Amino acid sequence: MSETGVVDAFARLGDDVRAALSERGFDTPTEPQRRAIPPLVAGHNALVVAPTGTGKTETAMLPVLDAIVQRKAEGHVHGISALYVTPLRALNRDMRERLDWWGEALDIEVDVRHGDTSDYRRSQQADDPPDVLVTTPETLQAMLTGEKLRTALSDVEHVVIDEVHELAGAKRGAQLTIGLERLRELSGAFQRVGLSATVGDPEEVGKFLTGGRDCDVIEVDVTSLVEFDVVAPEIRESDERLGNELVTSAEMASHVRAIRELVERHDSTLVFVNTRQTAEALGSRFKELDDGIDIGVHHGSLAKEARIEVEDAFKAGELDAMLCTSSMELGIDVGHIDHVVQYNSPREVARLLQRVGRAGHRRDAVSTGTIVATHPDEVAEALAIARRASAGHVETVDIHHGSLDTVANQIAGIAMGFGDVAARRAYRVVTRAYPFCDLDEATFREVVRELHTNRVLYLNEEADELSSSGTWQYVYANLSMIPDEETYEVYDMAAGRQVGTLDERFVVNFAEPGETFVQRGEMWRIAEIDEEESRVNVSPIADPSGEVPSWTGSEIPVPSGVAQEVGELRAAAGAQFERGADTESVARDVAGRYPADADTVAAALDPLARQVEAEAPLPTDDRILIEAQGRAITLNAAFGHEINETLGRLLSALVGQRTGSSVGLDAGPYRIELEVPQGVRASEVEAVLRETDPAHVAALLELSLKGSDTLKFTLAQVAAKFGALDRSKGRGVGFSRILSALEDTPVYDEALREVFHTDLDVEGASDVLERIQSDDLAVVRHGERTPIGVGGRSSGQELLTPENADASVVKAVKERLMDDRVNLVCLHCDDWEQETKVRRVREQPECPRCGSTRVAALSPWADDVVAALNAAPDDRDDEQEKMVRRAYRNASIVQSHGKKAVVALAARGVGPQNAARVINNHREDDADFYRDILEREREYARTKAFW
């Protein structure tokens, strides 16, 4: 495109729109507008990649509004001319407000439609369609089945998809792509415009948007307009006092203080955190401060009214800062933001760019952000992410290719929308969508037959025709591809309004009348739980301590590229330490390459310096360090979450197969931790890495996944989308029964595909094995724990907490113990044992065979203890006799104290003697019980090297 064409972008628009632009005060276009408006006016499909706040909405909509004005002048507009699709209802509201002015100025009717739109308004929209309809992907699914709305949709000539990067990596996005092809059956070809944050593969997202058709990619480079700083707060003397004031640790107080100082230096700050729990925990600490700084809390589990209240207060300047999660990453308008704080590592480059990109937005202004990192791994990770962001090394979007439950969902929609329809036509519609372009006809037919079996639709094999059966009930129950999770409404009885929501697992495991918890950063006491209405009635209290609710949502995985750069940083700094350099000089050198001062860098380098001092090998980007002590074997491997999870599952399964015993696993981005049976050596783990055929990784993992909670949960969700499981009646259905019934169906194939896609990286793990076996990747062993090896979360990092652990720490300990597995063994009849999660253990465990309460709660990996119990008394050696005596002491405590004993015995390093002390110390106070367990675990972590 010529330079003149770019400069004259607004000149491409008609007189009415140019007059509205002048009235609105838009004199010159922004960069996205300069570059994108000409091809959009020409009718091209386009993907516009630019930061939030750079006028992307107007970039897309000005050419669309101009086209509608022209067609209206020619008398050609009857139904809906344009759809504006957003992933969040909150964005619906936001876009409606932004587009209303243009609609009034240009005599174009703009309306919004989503799940909460009244029946009356829906009826009006069907009878008298607006020119522009703002909606969500799920509401579009419903619209495609309505007779009058299908007529209105037949006039659609433009579809704008906002935040398309958010949809491209999700099944609801895959569903939308088929929905757009169904829309094309009604309206013919239409212009597609996608608005996206920075992504690593815009061409791929363009194909996702258009179904592989021609697409202009207009990408605005964001890296020159963002600046980052990484800080690691040092604990000051004042933080000890602040910690006492906030009922938390000096370390946590230093984080609060560091964030507060950043907020004080700016006018309006967004403070991003990675989880809702962190938002509530941090928000509650800020509420305790009485220092004139007002900080609101915003996340997806707060009531709509509560979120709007915080958004409006921030926009009006009544709040100094807003604590938020990914709910605020997208383009919700909250006014001017002059700085972004990211608490903890953002985990991904794309996430950091999107969050920090929310600051600034004046023409050519630089957006600034500070990452507050809290421990050495996280500091190194934040440094790597910030450097990669400045260099433009952004992760690619992981599109769900070929998700079969999405295919099932859309076949049902097609059958309902078109009535009797040829199966071949349905196949053509589905495979025009980019995520399904490689779907073969045989697999498609398997999905159709499964739907027929489940009575979702009727398949006439002879005529090769699909027709609606019980389809409408299925379609309206499955408008969304988001997995259904039961939630409870939190209702403030005093104010007479909803506060937010709680997940079912939190209500079941914690909530009962009298308990207190945190929401909106405030404390609430539960007055009543109404199961029928799924409501928790609460009243506000001033108590500074309370549980932080748990919400569903997995940890953000650290990509392999980020973890590998942490490994490179270790290698470069380690080489300097090995040459005799001190931490101060190495930190100054590293700080020259990363956006942080030398003191912050030194916090990341401390374990490396101690590793070299201990003469232990350094784990790097091209070296795995295996270290072992007792039954704990740790692989220090800088490959990121998904590759390490895959390798960990593989090792756990194959080592377990070789020994005939279970192997415990905990994987993070820099470590794979195994708890192995007694006698298993690190050399055997290394042998698995060197001998396993990389080509067999997928098949071996499938076998290992069959009994896993991950596959069970996913299978239940996928089965519901196939109509094979009624969610309202599915609770309590045995997963083993579901598994056996669905194993040879497309339901099982899809559940397995989703686990591989979402949680694992088979290709990456296979590549690691190939590199090991070709000696391109070194594997070294060390006979004891190293400073880097014990630095991870799984190695006791979370145990090293203050004596007066705050409520969020107590809650984390409780959740961890409740999710631990325990093997219950009857010592009376010797004929029953059961492995289960601690939370599922009855208040007084007893043997279902003989009714005895003499039940031992053993580690799932204590096969040697079970073997000793099963051995004839005369055949036991001295070590086995000790194991048996210890098991009987264990059972005695369980008999006396029930589930509380099981909880204590599940803790790390807490044997029968310590468990009894802990229970006797705290019979009533639940929080102190868990604090005491924490202290015992700390003691174990400090001293286990000497055991």
CA distance linking residue 236 with residue 254, whole number of Å: 7
Closest CA to 616 of 445, 780, 767: 780
CA distance linking residue 481 with residue 568, whole number of Å: 39
- For residue 869, name the pLDDT band (cuts at 50, 70, 90): very high
| 506 or 848, higher pLDDT | 848
> Per-residue pLDDT for 636 more than 90?
yes
Q: Name the token pair of 508.
A: 């079941």
CA distance linking residue 893 with residue 907, whole number of Å: 15
Tell me which amino acid residue 135 is. T
Give one word for 418, left, alpha or beta, with left for phi > 0 and alpha for psi -120 to 50.
alpha
| 11 or 819, higher pLDDT | 11
Q: Are strands 664-667 and 671-675 parallel, antiparallel or unpaired?
A: antiparallel
Residue with tokens 């190293």: 786
> Per-residue pLDDT for 2 more than 60?
no
Residues forming beta bridges with residue 159, ordered by sequence position? 83, 192
Instruction: Choose the weakest-confidence range: 22-26, 189-193, 433-437, 642-646.
Output: 22-26
Output b/e per residue, 732-757; b: 16+ Cβ within 10 A. eeeeeebbeebeebbbbbbbbbbbbb
Q: Name the token pair of 415.
A: 């059958």
- For residue 541, name the pLDDT band (cuts at 50, 70, 90): confident
CA distance linking residue 896 with residue 894, whole number of Å: 5
The predicted pLDDT at position 321 comes to 92
Q: Which helix (H) or strand (E) holds 540?
A: strand 535-541
CA distance linking residue 210 with residue 45, whole number of Å: 7
Tell me which amino acid residue 631 is. R
Closest CA to 161 of 100, 67, 84, 98: 84
- Is-contact 467 415, C-beta < 8 A? yes
Across residues 866-874, what is the average pLDDT? 90
Burial label for 873, CB within 10 Å (0-12, 13-18, 19+), is exposed
CA distance linking residue 714 with residue 720, whole number of Å: 10
Give one word for 388, left, alpha or beta, with left for phi > 0 and alpha for psi -120 to 50.
alpha
Residues forming beta bridges with residue 135, ordered by sequence position? 85, 113
pLDDT tens-place string over residues 589-600:
999 999 999 999
Q: What is the CATH number of domain 3-220?
A: 3.40.50.300
Closest CA to 20 of 51, 55, 58: 58
SS3 839: helix
| 226 or 780, higher pLDDT | 780
pLDDT tens-place string over residues 444-461:
999 999 999 999 999 999
> Per-residue pLDDT for 114 more than 90?
no
SS3 43: coil
- For residue 555, name the pLDDT band (cuts at 50, 70, 90): low
Closest CA to 792 of 671, 875, 689: 671
pLDDT tens-place string over residues 564-573:
999 999 999 9
> Per-residue pLDDT for 363 more than 60?
no
CA distance linking residue 418 with residue 402, whole number of Å: 23
Across residues 364-390, what is the average pLDDT? 92
- For residue 944, name the pLDDT band (cuts at 50, 70, 90): very low
| Cβ neighbours, 10 Å, residue 508 | 12
> Per-residue pLDDT for 196 more than 50?
yes
Instruction: Choose the weakest-confidence range: 164-168, 800-804, 892-896.
Output: 800-804
The predicted pLDDT at position 803 comes to 35
| Cβ neighbours, 10 Å, residue 708 | 14
- Is-contact 829 852, C-beta < 8 A? yes
Q: Name the token pair of 37.
A: 């408006």
Instruction: Choose the weakest-confidence range: 164-168, 273-277, 388-392.
Output: 273-277
| Cβ neighbours, 10 Å, residue 330 | 20
The predicted pLDDT at position 714 comes to 86
- For residue 735, name the pLDDT band (cuts at 50, 70, 90): low
> Per-residue pLDDT for 732 more than 90?
no
For the chain, helix (H) and strand (E) counts, in that order, are 39, 29
Instruction: Choose the weakest-confidence range: 243-247, 347-351, 793-797, 798-802.
Output: 798-802
- Is-contact 754 403, C-beta < 8 A? yes
> What's the maximum distance between 2 C-alpha atoms anywhere in the chain?
100
The predicted pLDDT at position 3 comes to 43
Closest CA to 451 of 171, 747, 730, 173: 747
> Per-residue pLDDT for 443 more than 90?
yes
The third-level CATH classification (topology) of the domain covering 404-477 is: Arc Repressor Mutant, subunit A (1.10.10)
| Cβ neighbours, 10 Å, residue 925 | 11
The predicted pLDDT at position 750 comes to 96
The predicted pLDDT at position 755 comes to 92
> Per-residue pLDDT for 546 more than 70?
no
CA distance linking residue 590 with residue 593, whole number of Å: 5
> Per-residue pLDDT for 339 more than 90?
yes
pLDDT tens-place string over residues 825-842:
999 988 899 988 898 899
DSSP code per residue over 869-933: HHS-GGG--HHHHHHHHHHHHHHHHHHHHTHHHHHHHHSTT--HHHHHHHHHH-SS-HHHHHHHH
Instruction: Choose the weakest-confidence range: 334-338, 383-387, 907-911.
Output: 907-911
CA distance linking residue 569 with residue 538, whole number of Å: 50
**Domain limits, CATH 1.10.10.10, in the chain:** 404-477
> Per-residue pLDDT for 256 more than 70?
yes
The predicted pLDDT at position 201 comes to 93
- HSE (CB half, 13 Å, CA atoms) of 33? 23
Q: To 10 degrees, what angle do helices 807-819 and 276-288 make?
A: 160
> Per-residue pLDDT for 466 more than 90?
yes
- For residue 808, name the pLDDT band (cuts at 50, 70, 90): low
CA distance linking residue 509 with residue 562, whole number of Å: 36
The predicted pLDDT at position 135 comes to 93
- For residue 223, name the pLDDT band (cuts at 50, 70, 90): confident
Residue 39 CA, chain-centre distance (Å), reads 36
Q: Name the token pair of 440.
A: 């073969």
Return the DSSP state at 444: H
Percent of the chain exceeding pLDDT 90 equals 54
- For residue 704, name the pLDDT band (cuts at 50, 70, 90): confident
- Is-contact 523 806, C-beta < 8 A? no
> Per-residue pLDDT for 5 more than 50?
no
Q: Are strands 158-161 and 191-196 parallel, antiparallel or unpaired?
A: parallel
**Domain limits, CATH 3.40.50.300, in the chain:** 3-220
Instruction: Choose the weakest-confidence range: 193-207, 265-279, 448-462, 579-593.
Output: 265-279
Residue 188 CA, chain-centre distance (Å), reads 37
| Cβ neighbours, 10 Å, residue 943 | 10
The predicted pLDDT at position 793 comes to 41
Mean pLDDT over all residues of the chain?
A: 86
> Per-residue pLDDT for 7 more than 70?
no
Task: Output the CA–CA distances (angstroms, integers) from residue 145 to 179, 372, 420, 479, 508, in the order listed.
Answer: 11, 49, 13, 11, 38
Q: Name the token pair of 907.
A: 């803790």
Across residues 27-43, what is the average pLDDT? 93
Q: Name the token pair of 354.
A: 């999107």
Q: What are phi and psi of 496, to 5 degrees?
A: 65, 40
The predicted pLDDT at position 393 comes to 93
Across residues 394-410, what is the average pLDDT? 95
CA distance linking residue 792 with residue 783, whole number of Å: 18
CA distance linking residue 625 with residue 647, whole number of Å: 14
SS3 569: helix
- For residue 878, name the pLDDT band (cuts at 50, 70, 90): confident
| 730 or 288, higher pLDDT | 288
CA distance linking residue 100 with residue 131, whole number of Å: 12
Q: What are phi and psi of 297, to 5 degrees?
A: -115, 135
The predicted pLDDT at position 513 comes to 81
